[in-house]
Amino acid sequence: MSDPIIGLTEWLQTAPGQYLLGWEQAQFDLTVADLFGYNALQLGLPELDTLRANRMPHRWQALPEEASRSGVPQAEVALPVAPDKDLNGEAARPRVARVHLVTNAAALPFPAASLDLLVLPHTLELSADPHHVLREVERVLVPEGRVVISGLNPASLWGFRQGRGHLWSRLRLPGATPPKLYLPEAGDFIGPWRLRDWLRLLSFEVESDRYGCYRPAVSTEKWLQRTAWMDRAGARWWPIFGAVYFVVAVKRVRGVRLLGPAWKPRRAGATASPVPVANRH
């Protein structure tokens, strides 16, 4: 059996993989640019530099242990990745992703309430226990901290083709050629409605969500360009059926509110109003 993470990396080098990375990079750039704080962490998918537009003084990139190539924690790992895409969708020069630490996604090496921003690009769907990962995210985030999550939408043209391939492989019809899977086999779909329920249980409030990548499940750059009009039509006519969803949630702490000063301003004392005196003259 081949390494599933290598399969994912190879798929991201294809035309649909580059299309996906380009759209997501633009969304991350627009979202994190105005998020302020001190500490930010990207967990997973080093092919994307999700924090490049953020201005927090401390920004780290972590790779989950199950997604690392060697499985051995290292201080810093250089991984060759696909070229970035700028906000206009044009290919930029290739870069080398710097992974600052390899860690267990369900046991992050950060104290409680220490991070202001945590970004999970496809991290949950590649995790063995995504709900536990979200619990760890809730632990390390400060009150009013934000988590940004991207994932593949099962209710999309890409999800439909992938589901059809899995169903065909389960049936194992004799003499029939099973269709080739469109997406890599690594990970499982987590629908946006399911993710919303998990976030609500952990006292997160969804601040915004959006969908993208409405083009059909084609494999060549030529057909992706021919169907580019579907991105505009999909965003208008069938917005929730994009191949990728993008969620921003805020950690709310119930019963906690800002307190005012302990002292109260002293009320002005009563002043004697002048009594009119009748004119004696």
So what's the pLDDT on residue 280? Answer: 52
**Any domain includes 256:** no
Which tens digits make up the pLDDT trace of 172-181? 656 555 556 6
Using an 8 Å Cβ cutoff, are 156 and 182 in contact?
Answer: no
Higher pLDDT, 202 or 258: 202
- Is the predicted pLDDT of residue 77 greater than 60, yes or no? no
Its domain, for residue 194, covers 4-251
pLDDT band at 99 (very low <50, low <70, confident <90, very high): confident
- Is the predicted pLDDT of residue 272 greater than 80, yes or no? no
The pair of structure tokens assigned to 87 is 């906000």
Which tens digits make up the pLDDT trace of 185-203? 767 889 999 999 999 999 9
Q: How far is CA 192 from CA 125, 209, 211, 214, 248, in A?
A: 11, 9, 10, 16, 12
Backbone phi, then psi, for 204, in 5-degree steps?
A: -95, 145
The pair of structure tokens assigned to 126 is 């590649």
Strands 115-121 and 96-99: unpaired
Q: What number is the average pLDDT over the span 121-128?
A: 91
Higher pLDDT, 205 or 9: 205
**Any domain includes 14:** yes
So what's the pLDDT on residue 75? Answer: 41
120 burial (CB, 10 Å; 0-12 / 13-18 / 19+) is: buried
Alpha-helical (H) ranges within 74-156 are: 130-140
Cα–Cα distance, 108 to 205 (Å, whole number)? 22
- Residue 158: name the closest of 133, 201, 189 by CA: 189
Report the greatest alpha carbon distance in the chain.
125
Contacts of range 255-264, beta carbons closer than 8 Å, 24 or more positions apart: 256/143
Q: What number is the average pLDDT over the span 14-39?
A: 94
**Any domain includes 229:** yes
- State which amino acid sits at residue 265: P
**Any domain includes 261:** no
**Any domain includes 272:** no
For the residues of 48-88, what is the DSSP string, one character each?
S-TTTT---SEEEEEEEGGG-SS-S--S-EEEE-PPPB-TT
**Any domain includes 263:** no
**Any domain includes 273:** no
Give me the numbers of helices (H) and strands (E) for the chain, helices first please.
Answer: 7, 9
Higher pLDDT, 28 or 167: 28
**Any domain includes 30:** yes
Count of structural domains within the chain: 1
So what's the pLDDT on residue 82? Answer: 45
**Residue 36 is part of a domain; what is its CATH number?**
3.40.50.150
Using an 8 Å Cβ cutoff, are 37 and 56 in contact?
Answer: yes
Using an 8 Å Cβ cutoff, are 38 and 113 in contact?
Answer: no
